[in-house]
Structure 1
Amino acid sequence: MSEPQPKTSTTPRDTTTVPAQAPEPSRWHQTFQKITTGNALISVLSVLLALVVGAIMIAFTDEDVQKAAGYFFARPGDTFVAIWQSVSGAYSALFQGSIYNFRRDSFAAGIKPLTETLTFATPLIAGGLGVGLAFRVGMFNIGGRGQMLIAASVAGWLAFGFELPWGLHMLVALVGGLLGGALWGGIAGLLKAKTGAHEVIVTIMLNFVAFYLVSWLLRTPGLLQAPGSSNPKTPPMKDTAIFWNLKEYGYNLHLGFLVVVAATVLVWWILSRSSLGFRFRAVGENPNAARVAGINVPSIYVYAMLISGALLGLAGVNQVLGTVTTGFTAGIDAGVGFDAITVALLGRSTPWGIFAAGLLFGAFKAGGYSMQAAEGVPVDIVLVVQSLIVLFIAAPPLVRTIFRLPDPSRGPKRPRPIVTKEVTAK
């Protein structure tokens, strides 16, 4: 008889899998990651790329470069020298026409280009703030032209048609213009809130309505047309309504720039510090979720377009009371309503980003004419550079590919698990 075999107890093996612990990145690495994946860097690099493409266009259109390129293989150095002289001369003229002119005898005269930049930038910043605020609410306000025209008409009518004390007259015209722009923008917001009409279509149509309405007012005696004149132009603004300016010192800069700075601070406070701004951002991120959270989405659309229209109206008021004080025509908007969209895109719809973008485009406008006069470079190249900035901003993957920047949408790779040593329980 065989002996019984001893019983053996089998205990399941305990295997422990410990995920790999990724080393914590340093503070400098985190800072670098934020910079390289942020929108601000994309905007800066978009401007840089546009200037590089603009330099190539300047070189190709320069006559000296074309002549030197004819014997490039015999003396290649002449071509490169001609390219450098054409590009550096053009951008130097751009700088001296927008920031500081070193050829002037005094500092007061040399700083005049900077004041011109600020003057050009004033309506661009105001309009960009209006478009950018609508962007933050998820709305595309491209009715800047109409809102500017209505605001300019109201402000101009108050400025030349009434006799009021100095200071008070200017304030009344300013507030009237803001209300006019807010009313015209509020129409689009109200239609979207009540009927669901798309604000893009509505604002486009309102642009045409405003243009032909103002054109009719300018051709009708007793309304906006100057008395005794057959031209579609208003009388000059009264001195009591004109923005305080520095013309007695030889500068065109006026009080409107300080008003725009105050508007930038106000928009920043609304979007970042107020409960209304929180509702704006919530609706802009997800209107359905905002509605579930108890936010009255239709009323937010109306409020947003009222404020957006008032800010674009501020751009029109600056044109009438600060720049064109001798009377205006139906072209008083000067394309600012559409340029404001570009400024808002470059500024990433943030108040201070829009402020910086407005200054940049103001410098382009001020320096473009100087570049054309000094170096013979077509001013259209500046417009091409502005368009390229928008193109590159609209294509962040292209900018990241050119400069080999990390893609923020791709997070760190998931670490593989590490299997530890098998442990057998006894």
Structure 2
Amino acid sequence: MDKVNKIFVKDSALVPLVAIVLGLLLGAVVMLLGGYNPITAYISLVSKVFGSPYNMGETIREITPLIFTGLSVAFAFRTGLFNIGAEGQFMIGATGAAFIGIKLDLPWFIHAPLAVIVGAVLGGLWGGIAGYLKAKRGVNEVITTIMLNWIALFLSNYMVNTFLLQPGQQRSYMIHDSASLSVGWLSELFGNARMHWGTLIALLGAVVFYIVLWKMKQGYELRSVGYNPNAAQYAGMNVKRNIVKAMVIGGVFAGLAGVVETLGVFHYQVIAAASPGYGFDGVAVALLGGNHPVGVVLAAVLFGMLTYGSAGMSFGADVPPEIIRVVIASVIFFVASHGIVRWVLKPFLARRKKEEVA
């Protein structure tokens, strides 16, 4: 039985890896059909990511918000919910952090933590709206979170335009230095890349994700409600409260993504015509990461490298940046299509199982 379990674990680990390879191969085929050299393109991508300390630092910067939004979506998935609203929670968190960072002038050891906490709490409350509607009114959270994304976009624009706008600009005033999450010495180490404390917070968030869901009583209840709400209710668990709680926690993760982008990268907030896209990418990161915190971090690394490296494909191989979205979409397709991946793996796994069981 132990041998069979080990085979199952290896099988589960192989599926996303093979999905990535198949996605890259399909992307190569698309490039060939478009008249581009995929080998040159992928070499240019890798060179862009690892070509200099600055590019490595900027890649880490690109990865950081994807970890947060991936954790946000994965947490909801683990509790039986579909949080498609990480995009809106991201924007609300960013707006809250910007408001505190601009309007208040406090010592750094109070100002920065306060801005982070306010942004995270507002992101959580925004996610909690969808949780409340699901728990109390039975409204599907997919519908409400998508609608709340648009409300968050226009509400954030209104807040910036009304209270934070710098005259003559389409953005807010700069946040005070005391609210910044930038790390000067680390930025210098990486060629003045926009490095910030948010990366460390994101990794700590993955640890908190694991502890809450698998090491705490509350996490057991949340997962139980996700697996079977009727059985959880029969066991005396408050299903409605746990639904709201799960969406609030997911919103906190997504809100933190917006917080670190505002306080650590740009130091201001713009009046946006469209949402930034990190929340929707978080869905793909969560799927590829198997809704596990370690998997989410690794998937965010992959997506961040592909996203930032797409500029290298454009300059080094004359490949349009949109091609990288085809590669990412291909990876998502194969991750979601477990049957196709397992069919590709079937001959190898069948031979491996015979050897291991014997």
Find 2:173's aligned residue among 211, 227, 235: 235
User: Per-residue CA shift, 1:24-44, capped at 9, x if unaligned?
Assistant: x784x65345312x1x21111
CA contact (8 A) 1:143 1:337 kept: yes
Q: CA deviation at 1:215?
A: 2.0
Residues in 2 aligned to 1:31 and 1:128: alpha-carbon distance in whole angstroms: 27
Question: Hey, what does 2:156 align to over in structure 1?
Answer: 214
Residue type at the aligned position of 2:38: V
Residues in 1 aligned to 2:178 and 2:287: alpha-carbon distance in whole angstroms: 37
Flag the 1:232–1:290 CA change in 2: closer, same or farther, 3 A: same
Flag the 1:34–1:158 CA change in 2: closer, same or farther, 3 A: closer
Flag the 1:407–1:198 CA change in 2: closer, same or farther, 3 A: farther
Q: Larger relative CO (CA 8 A, sep 6+): 1 or 2?
A: 2
Question: Hey, what does 1:83 align to over in structure 2?
Answer: none
Residue type at the aligned position of 1:48: V
CA contact (8 A) 1:283 1:297 kept: yes
Residue type at the aligned position of 2:217: S
Residue type at the aligned position of 1:90: A
Q: CA deviation at 1:237?
A: 1.3
Question: Hey, what does 2:311 align to over in structure 1?
Answer: 369
Find 1:247's aligned residue among 172, 183, 187: 187
Q: CA deviation at 1:191?
A: 1.4
Residue type at the aligned position of 1:141: N
How do residues 12-411 of structure 1 correspond to structure 2 at under 5 angstroms?
27=3, 31-36=6-11, 38=12, 40-62=13-35, 86-98=37-49, 100-101=50-51, 110-220=52-162, 223-226=163-166, 228-229=167-168, 231-245=169-183, 246-249=186-189, 250-330=192-272, 333-404=275-346
Q: CA deviation at 1:171?
A: 0.7
Residues in 2 aligned to 1:354 and 1:345: alpha-carbon distance in whole angstroms: 8
Percent sequence identity is 35
Q: TM-score, normalised to structure 1's length?
A: 0.78
Residues in 2 aligned to 1:280 and 1:377: alpha-carbon distance in whole angstroms: 45
Q: TM-score, normalised to structure 2's length?
A: 0.92
Which piece of structure 1 moves more, 110-119 or 154-163? Answer: 110-119
| Structure 1: 5+ residue stretches without partners | 1-24, 64-85, 102-109, 413-426
From the two aligned structures, give the one with the greater helix fraction: 2
CA contact (8 A) 1:149 1:332 kept: no
SS in 2 for 1:313: helix
User: Per-residue CA shift, 1:368-399, capped at 9, x if unaligned?
Assistant: 11111111111111100111111111111111
CA contact (8 A) 1:319 1:333 kept: no
Residue type at the aligned position of 1:34: V
Q: CA deviation at 1:296?
A: 0.7
Q: CA deviation at 1:401?
A: 1.2
Flag the 1:252–1:301 CA change in 2: closer, same or farther, 3 A: same
Over aligned residue pairs, what C-alpha RMSD do you find? 2.1
Between Structure 1 and Structure 2, whose CA radius of gyration is higher? 1
